[in-house]
Amino acid sequence: MERQEPDATFDDGMDSFLEKFQSQPYRGGFHESQWEEEFEKIPLFMKNSPSEIDPLENPDLACLQSIIFDEERSPEDQARTYKDEGNDYFKEKDYKKAVISYTEGLKKKCADPDLNAVLYTNRAAAQYYLGNFRSSLNDVTAARKLKPCHLKAIIRGASCHLELKNYVEAVNWCDEGLQIDATEKKLLDLRAKADKLKRTEQRDIRKAKLKEKKKQDQNEALLQAIKARNIRLVTEAPGEDEDLASEGLSELALYGLSSENPCGARLSVDDQGRLSWPVLFLYPEYAQSDLVSAFHEDSRFIDHLMVMFGETPSWDLEQKYCPDNLEVFFEDEDRAELYCVPPSSTLLQVLQHPRYFVKALTPTFLVCVGSSGFCRNYLQGKKVHQVK
């Protein structure tokens, strides 16, 4: 056996190899300025994989990918690969990508029902964390069709129902699961939670119902009080009769009592059963108005006017609107006639006048200074009655 002189040849080869370095540039090396990026592109040294693999940019990676997702492998193998891919995305909390992977796996329609059940259940989990509870529920339902005793699917389904506030369904799914494993802690906890929430929801419904009933009773009482006083109401809706039958009254309840004035003033009743009305005073001379939010029916106009005009209002340019000078009218719109109200009358007395119609549950009165020119003009040509 001829033993070569290793050192000599090696040295020769090595020398000439090394010489090459000095004379020729090494083309396979990294570029100095971007060696880190190029390093990253080598699949073995990659820290993060790119989300999309461009074969031109990353030929090595594209190669590897095509090996894994080779169409020639069996559907079961492919599905399993997609399942693993989905699970990896899931671990990284990239739920959207996980859903896509699982979907691809399901598309393979492989013949293994267990695998498909897992794909459905895992996709359901990803959908759950994306907040798509209905989609999640559809997936676990599909999973259960394939594998009725798949506990993970049942737990997921119960959780979905809980999130969707279907508490009865949640409890039912838990019970079905507990028939398979009577001591499964997650199901026990879910069931207790769902049951409690169901009972709380039932309480809330009862509370709302009672509140509604109370409100209706109050409205009914108010309407009865109005009726008992023979006060006539008018609805704003066109085509309504001015004299209301009892059905009309309840319609009014819906329309009038529930809608408040813009200022929030409403008809109310006190402990003695006396009403207080929101009353609108209009001053046509200056196109002004005042709203008395709670005009007690037994109080007199003059009492309110004394307070309202204790100081003459800013719009009163001639400073003539003093309580003693004021005249109060209401208008019978139907007949276009005015009625002069003695300020010493109570609100109730006026409201009970046969020609007084309360509109939108807010009695309205016109006020001007009796002796003024404006007033004389205003009353010109109109029929004015005196209310006793």
Partner 1 sequence: MSETSPKAEAAKLLPFLMLGERADLQAAAAQHVLALTGSGPGRTLLAGQAALLRSLVELAVAPPPAPARDAARALVNLAADPGLHKPLLEAEPGLPVRLLGCVLDPQWPWAEEAAAVLANLSREPVPCAALIEALAAAEPGESGLERLVRALCTPGYNARAPLHYLGPVLSNLSQCPATRAFLLDRNRCVVQRLLPLTQYPDSSVRRGGVVGTLRNCCFEHRHHEWLLGPEVDILPFLLLPLAGPEDFSEEEMERLPVDLQYLPPEKQREPDADIRKMLIETIMLLTATAPGRKQVRDQGAYLILRELHSWEPEPDVQVTCEKLIQVLIGDEPERGLENLLEVQVPEEVERQLQQQDHQEREQQELELDPGPQAEEAAPT
The dihedral through the CA atoms of 166, 168, 169, 171 has a sign that is: positive
- Residue 206 beta carbon to partner 1: minimum distance, rounded to whole angstroms: 4
Interacting residues of 47 by C-beta distance below 8 A, sequence separation 6+: 40
Q: What is the nearest approach in angstroms of partner 1 to the Cβ of residue 173?
A: 13
Subset of 116-175 contacting partner 1 (CB under 8 A):
174-175
**For partner 1, which is the closer residue by CB, 154 or 368?**
154
Is residue 265 a contact partner of residue 385, using CB atoms and an 8 Å limit?
no
Buried b (16+ CB within 10 A) or exposed e, 207-223: eeeeeeeeeeeebeebb
Residue 174 or 223: the one with the smaller Cβ distance to partner 1 is 174
Q: Which is nearer to partner 1, 79 or 174 (CB)?
A: 174
Q: How open is the CA angle 351-353-359, to the nearest 5 degrees?
A: 50
Give the contact letters, 36-75, x = binds to partner 1 (CB under 8 A), - = no.
----------------------------------------
Q: CA 145 from chain center: how many Å?
A: 35
Residues forming a β-bridge with 300: 346
Q: Does 196 bind partner 1 (CB under 8 A)?
A: yes
Q: Say whether residue 203 binds partner 1 (CB under 8 A).
A: yes
Q: State the Cα–Cα distance between residues 17 and 107, nearest whole angstrom.
A: 55
Among 134, 165, 206, 376, binds partner 1 (CB under 8 A): 206
**Cβ of residue 329: shortest distance to partner 1, in angstroms?**
45
Residue 195 in the binding site for partner 1 (CB under 8 A): yes
- In this chain, which of 20, 134, 165, 199 binds partner 1, going by CB under 8 A? 199
Q: Footprint of partner 1 on residues 208-227 (CB under 8 A)?
A: 209-210
**Nearest approach, Cβ of residue 156 and partner 1 (Å):** 19
Residue 275 neighbours by CB under 8 Å, 6+ apart: 222, 225, 226, 229, 267, 268, 269, 296, 297, 348
Question: Site residues (CB under 8 A) for partner 1?
Answer: 174-175, 178-179, 182-183, 185, 187-188, 191-192, 195-196, 199-200, 202-203, 206-207, 209-210
